[in-house]
């Protein structure tokens, strides 16, 4: 039986040092019917030369070259050119297990779910794909999650991951979302996945969670998650503008988890601000006020991991540090 086509979208920017592992992990996929779209987002190093050389003579692999527009822009460009029944997003400095697409697609189809979710293993910066050759094959064990409100609650409780690279999506559902194929907010420069996944879950009824680490997330020192504070990180709050549009009657259970997560995000941003020279007192006060107002939901959200429930303990420390910054 012919396998359904999976489109793999790989945004690329200055990853010359790491992209070979990405190439290898895609070439070694046991799921054969794939098209891989590399989107070179204005790289300034040798990334694009490597992509062109790798794709040469390979029908499954092609590329788009565009001016730099950011991660969301690159993903949108890939999505606009994707032909697959299923869509997968892979970051170009990371890698996936040889059975990732096979397991994700099999679980999704066998349970008639709208998307599949899997876990990630954090690896060191010098990680090599060749290290995966000794890894055992995974058994197909998974859990079905039903109901948009339930899935949204688990999502904002951080129980099923936040990223797009830990999910396999149905293309038909993506096409139902307004503004397709520009589904990633290009004005969002930090935590872009929040808005995208919120919109997708809103259009879904069932998901399947695979309790296996099928993705290898490289811990780069210069990576976005480790970068210092700048104003672009405030665009993370765009996701909450999206959640405000949810039908409160249909997503009654989710509201406490969304508000709880807003407290988490506010705290993260405040910690980064404390360590920076950012001086917008009005904005800092606004974020701190949001943090305080949403703290009560951290306790109410029963599905929150234990470490999230400890957030209120950070309030005195945060205020003590912020007072000095606001007074200066």
Listed in sequence order, the DSSP H helices in the chain are: 19-27, 47-55, 71-80, 100-110, 148-156, 171-176, 193-202, 238-243, 254-274, 281-300, 306-309, 315-327
* Dist CA 219 CA 47 (whole Å): 19
Contact 28, 57 (CB under 8 A): no
Same domain? For 77 and 133 the reply is yes
**4 Cβ partners below 8 Å, 6+ apart?**
33, 84, 85, 86, 105, 109
Q: What is the pLDDT of residue 139?
A: 62
- Structural domain contains residue 1: no
Name the H helices within 81-161. 100-110, 148-156
For 97, the token pair is 């297990």
Q: Are both 156 and 232 inside the same structural domain?
A: no
The pLDDT tens digits along the chain (328 residues) read 689 999 999 999 999 999 999 999 999 999 999 999 999 999 999 999 999 999 999 999 999 999 999 999 999 999 999 999 999 999 999 999 999 999 999 999 999 999 999 999 999 998 777 766 555 566 667 999 999 999 999 999 999 999 999 999 999 999 999 999 999 999 999 999 999 999 999 999 999 999 999 999 999 775 544 457 889 999 999 999 999 999 999 999 999 999 999 999 999 999 999 999 998 999 999 999 999 999 999 999 999 998 898 889 999 999 999 988 777 6
Rounded to an integer, what distance in angstroms lies between the CA atom of residue 280 and that of residue 267? 16
Distance CA 97, CA 280 (A): 44
Measure the CA–CA gap between 119 and 167, rounded to whole angstroms: 9
Give the range of the structural domain holding residue 69, as residue numbers without chain letter: 6-220
Cα separation, 64 vs 167, whole angstroms:
23
| Residue 255 within a domain | yes
Question: Are both 161 and 213 inside the same structural domain?
Answer: yes
Is 199 in the same domain as 292?
A: no
Same domain, 57 and 22: yes
Q: Which of 105, 75, 102, 55 is nearest to 9 (CA)?
A: 75
Cβ proximity of 292 and 315 under 8 Å: yes
- Work out the widest C-alpha separation in the chain, in whole angstroms: 69
pTM as predicted: 0.94
CA–CA separation, 53 and 58 (whole Å):
10
The two structure tokens encoding residue 323: 């007072």
43 CB contacts (<8 Å, ≥6 apart)? Answer: 12, 13, 14, 15, 16
What is the count of structural domains for the chain? 2
- Is residue 106 domain-shared with residue 209, that is, in the same domain? yes
Together in a domain, 134 and 151: yes
- Based on the fold, state whether residues 204 and 284 are members of the same structural domain: no
């Amino acid at each position: 039986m012919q396998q359904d086509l999976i489109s793999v979208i790989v945004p690329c920017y200055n990853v010359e040092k790491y992209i070979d592992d990405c190439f290898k992990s895609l070439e070694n996929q046991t799921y054969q019917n794939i098209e891989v779209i590399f989107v070179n987002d204005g790289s300034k190093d040798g990334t694009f030369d490597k992509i062109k050389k790798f794709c040469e003579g390979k029908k499954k692999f092609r590329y788009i070259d565009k001016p730099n527009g950011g991660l969301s822009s690159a993903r949108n460009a890939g999505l606009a050119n994707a032909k697959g029944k299923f869509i997968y997003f892979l970051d170009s400095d990371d890698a996936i297990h040889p059975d990732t697409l096979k397991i994700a697609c099999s679980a999704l189809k066998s349970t008639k779910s709208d998307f599949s979710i899997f876990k990630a293993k954090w690896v060191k910066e010098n990680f090599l794909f060749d290290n995966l050759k000794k890894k055992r094959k995974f058994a197909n064990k998974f859990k079905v999650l039903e109901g948009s409100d339930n899935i949204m609650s688990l999502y904002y409780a951080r129980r099923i991951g936040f990223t797009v690279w830990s999910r396999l999506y149905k293309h038909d559902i993506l096409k139902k979302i307004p503004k397709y194929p520009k589904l990633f907010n290009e004005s969002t420069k930090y935590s872009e996945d929040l808005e995208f996944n919120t919109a997708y879950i809103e259009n879904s009824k069932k998901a399947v969670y695979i309790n296996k680490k099928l993705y290898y997330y490289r811990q780069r020192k210069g990576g976005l998650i480790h970068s210092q504070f700048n104003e672009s990180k405030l665009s993370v709050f765009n996701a909450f503008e999206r959640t405000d549009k949810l039908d409160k009657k249909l997503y009654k259970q989710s509201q406490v988890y969304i508000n709880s997560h807003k407290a988490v995000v506010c705290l993260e941003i405040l910690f980064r601000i404390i360590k920076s020279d950012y001086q917008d007192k009005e904005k800092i006060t606004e974020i701190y006020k949001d943090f305080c107002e949403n703290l009560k939901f951290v306790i109410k959200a029963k599905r929150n991991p234990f470490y999230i429930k400890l957030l209120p303990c950070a309030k005195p420390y945060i205020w003590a540090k912020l007072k000095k910054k606001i007074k200066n």
